C-alpha cells in the first residue's frame, strides 16, 4: 500500500515532516486513538491533503511504520558493517547497546514498535511483526554463522535455535528496559544509561557462557 504519486512528488523535506509528525501521533496514542485531525492541525495542512497522499489511516500507519523500521535497520546495518571481523559476542553486545541508544535518543521509534507488539487493533499487525522479526533473524544469523566459522561459537550449534534464543533475549531486554513490571528482580526498568549498559554486558556474558566455543 504505497503512498500516492502526489506524496512521492513532494519535496523530500516535506515528506519527512509529514511522516515524522505521523510517527509522533501514532507513537504517543497508538493506532486506534491517533487523530488525523490532530495530525493535520500540527502539520498545518488540509485534512483532504493527507488522504490524497495516503488512501486511508491504515495506509498511513503502514507507511509510517516502514519509515520508522528503516531507521532502525540502518542503525543495525551500521553496527554490523563497522564490527565486521570482531568477536561475535562483542558484535551482539554493540548491537544491544545500539538498541539502548535508540531508545534513549529516538524513543518514538521504540514506542511505535511497542504499540504494534501489544495493541491488537493495529492494521496489518502480523505482516508488520513478521517484517521486524525476519530482519532480526537474518541479522543475527549472519553474525552467528560467522562466529561459528571463526571458532567463537560451538561447532555443533543449532543455528536456527541459537538465533531464536539470542533474538528473544535481546528483544525482551529492550522491552523490559522500557515497560514496567516485565523485569521482576532485575531492575532493568528505570535504570540509568550507565546501569543499562552494565546490564547489557551481563546479559551478553550469559549468552557467551551458553553458546561460546571452548577456549
Band the pLDDT of 164: cuts 50, 70, 90.
Answer: very high
Does residue 214 register a pLDDT over 70? no
In which residue are the cell numbers 488522504 written?
51
Q: Each residue of 15-48: pLDDT tens digit?
A: 999 999 999 999 999 999 999 999 999 999 988 8
> How does 31-70 read in b/e, with b if 16+ C-beta sit within 10 Å?
beebebeebbeebebeeeebbebbeebebbbbbbbebbbe
Instruction: Spell out the domain ranges in the chain.
Output: 5-211
Q: Over the chain, what is the mean pLDDT?
A: 92
Determine the 3-state secondary structure of 187 from DSSP.
coil
**63-118 pLDDT, tens per residue?**
999 989 998 999 999 999 999 999 999 999 999 999 999 999 999 999 999 999 99
Measured CA to CA in angstroms, residue 215 lies from 48, 70, 94, 211 at distances of 64, 38, 22, 12
- Cα gap 69→72, rounded to integer Å: 5
Angle at 170 between CA 130 and CA 128, to 5 degrees: 15
pTM of the model: 0.89
CATH code for residues 5-211: 1.10.357.10
Amino acid at each position: 500500500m504505497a503512498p500516492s504519486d502526489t506524496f512521492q512528488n513532494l519535496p523530500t523535506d516535506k515528506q519527512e515532516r509529514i511522516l515524522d509528525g505521523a510517527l509522533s501521533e501514532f507513537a504517543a496514542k497508538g493506532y486506534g486513538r491517533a487523530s488525523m485531525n490532530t495530525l493535520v492541525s500540527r502539520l498545518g495542512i488540509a485534512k483532504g491533503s493527507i488522504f490524497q497522499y495516503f488512501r486511508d489511516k491504515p495506509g498511513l500507519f503502514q507507511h509510517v511504520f516502514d519509515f520508522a523500521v528503516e531507521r532502525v535497520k540502518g542503525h543495525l546495518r551500521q553496527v554490523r558493517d563497522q564490527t565486521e571481523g570482531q568477536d561475535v559476542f562483542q558484535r551482539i553486545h554493540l548491537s544491544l547497546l545500539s538498541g539502548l541508544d535508540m531508545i534513549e535518543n529516538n524513543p518514538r521509534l521504540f514506542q511505535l514498535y511497542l504499540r504494534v507488539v501489544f495493541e491488537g487493533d493495529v492494521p496489518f499487525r502480523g505482516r508488520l511483526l513478521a517484517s521486524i522479526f525476519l530482519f532480526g533473524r537474518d541479522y543475527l544469523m549472519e553474525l552467528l554463522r560467522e562466529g561459528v566459522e571463526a571458532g567463537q561459537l560451538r561447532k555443533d550449534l543449532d543455528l536456527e535455535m541459537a538465533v531464536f534464543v539470542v533474538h528473544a533475549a535481546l528483544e525482551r531486554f529492550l522491552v523490559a528496559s522500557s515497560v514496567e513490571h516485565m523485569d521482576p528482580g532485575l531492575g532493568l526498568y528505570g535504570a540509568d544509561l550507565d546501569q543499562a549498559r552494565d546490564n547489557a554486558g551481563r546479559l551478553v556474558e550469559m549468552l557467551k557462557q551458553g553458546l561460546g566455543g571452548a577456549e
